[in-house]
């Protein structure tokens, strides 16, 4: 099995809408309009068509009305579980707000019997789930497909603003939208990955050479330390540092339609993130002889200075985003 085989299946499972034939509709190696510079240029790899692997095509697997209805039903079951992660979540064993997470592995086992026939999921730090499908070639590094089970809270004061209740998972057959908290972020990834793996494992000829790992955290919306943090250490202990060939996680530009072609744009680039802590220490004193500046005043001046000097947006030349824009 090639990496592109399972990834292409997942893209189809996640979007349900796609172009049947792999082909380029973008101009290869052209200069950006309006520029005289030879850079940037749009460099496109050759189209990939995994249809020669002997497996049933993803188009045949997921494009029928019956297949869509089945996937919607499974996704609804997942979205209906109110697996909310709050910023002040307590201990995993004592905070009752963690209880809904007990229902997710039960639901997945019922919805994807073939996956669970071949794989026994590992529980990492109680609620983290890791599915490992062992490949036949140990010399190949595994690929990791990630997702998270938790969703952001729903403020009680906003419930009346919802067209459909957040955990009803209402599906509108007319426009194809499924309503619910987490329907997109990020339970769609879990449904797509599990559906793709279920379909692949249902075919007797599917015997992957490369190990495939599905890992689902449970606190991405409120830190990630207890979910993905523990899963990453668990996998690093097993496969070593830099032991994973590729990681497919949420994010990216989603779907972009140009003309009559719908493009799925995977995330290959992320902006950086940095937390900076300022600690101000001053000499103590008495209000009868106050110091010229207090710690609060100094800190306020720092904040004011930062607000008046925001970072300027910048796209790194020849970076992934720059090249993507060049192609469009």
Question: Which residue is it, tokens 């140009």?
Answer: 258
Q: Is 220 a catalytic residue?
A: yes
Token digits of residue 201? 């494992």
CA distance 113 to 192: 15
Given the residues 5, 150, 186, 249, select the one marked as catalytic.
150
CA distance 328 to 128: 39
Residue pair 217/124 in contact (Cβ under 8 Å)? The answer is no
CA distance 41 to 26: 12
CA distance 65 to 257: 22
Given the residues 5, 198, 220, 221, select the one marked as catalytic.
220
What residues does 258 pair with on adjacent strands?
261
Task: Determine what percent of the chain falls in helix, strand and coil, rounding each to the nearest 5.
Answer: 35, 15, 50
Burial code of 284-308, b = ≥16 C-beta within 10 A, e = fewer?
eeeeeeeeeeeeeeeeeeeeeeeee
Q: Is 150 a catalytic residue?
A: yes
Token digits of residue 116? 């669970």
Residue 250: C-alpha distances to residues 10, 265, 298 (Å): 12, 11, 40
Token digits of residue 193? 């990955």
Query: Could you tell me whether strands 177-179 and 170-172 are parallel, antiparallel, or unpaired per DSSP bridges?
Result: antiparallel
Neighbours of 312 (CB within 10 A): 5
Active-site residue list: 150, 220
């Amino acid at each position: 099995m090639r990496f592109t085989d399972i990834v292409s299946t997942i893209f189809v499972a996640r979007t349900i809408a796609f172009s049947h034939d792999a082909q380029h509709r973008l101009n290869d190696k052209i200069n950006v309009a309006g520029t005289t510079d030879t850079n940037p240029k749009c460099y496109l790899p050759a189209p990939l068509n995994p249809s020669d692997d002997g497996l049933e095509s993803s188009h045949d697997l997921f494009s029928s009305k019956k297949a869509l209805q089945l996937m919607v039903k499974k996704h609804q079951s997942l979205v209906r579980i109110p697996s909310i992660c709050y910023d002040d979540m307590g201990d995993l064993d004592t905070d009752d707000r963690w209880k809904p997470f007990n229902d997710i592995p039960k639901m997945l086992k019922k919805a994807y019997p073939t996956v669970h026939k071949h794989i026994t999921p590992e529980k990492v730090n109680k609620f983290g789930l890791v599915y490992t499908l062992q490949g036949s070639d140990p010399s190949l590094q595994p690929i990791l497909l990630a997702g998270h089970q938790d969703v952001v809270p729903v403020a009680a004061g906003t419930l009346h603003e919802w067209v459909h209740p957040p955990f009803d998972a209402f599906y509108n057959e007319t426009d194809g939208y499924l309503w619910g908290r987490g329907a997109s972020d990020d339970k769609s990834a879990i449904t797509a990955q599990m559906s793709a793996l279920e379909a692949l494992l249902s075919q007797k000829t599917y015997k992957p050479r490369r190990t495939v790992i599905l890992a689902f955290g449970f606190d991405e919306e409120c830190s990630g330390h207890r979910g993905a943090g523990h899963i990453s250490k668990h996998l690093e202990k097993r496969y070593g540092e830099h032991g994973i060939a590729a990681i497919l996680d949420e994010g990216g530009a989603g779907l972009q339609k140009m003309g009559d072609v719908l493009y799925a744009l995977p995330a290959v680039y992320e902006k950086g993130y940095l937390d900076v802590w300022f600690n101000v220490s001053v000499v103590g004193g008495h209000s009868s002889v106050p110091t010229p500046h207090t710690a609060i005043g100094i800190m306020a001046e720092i904040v004011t200075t930062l607000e008046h000097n925001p970072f300027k947006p910048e796209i790194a030349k020849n970076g992934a985003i720059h090249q993507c824009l060049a192609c469009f």
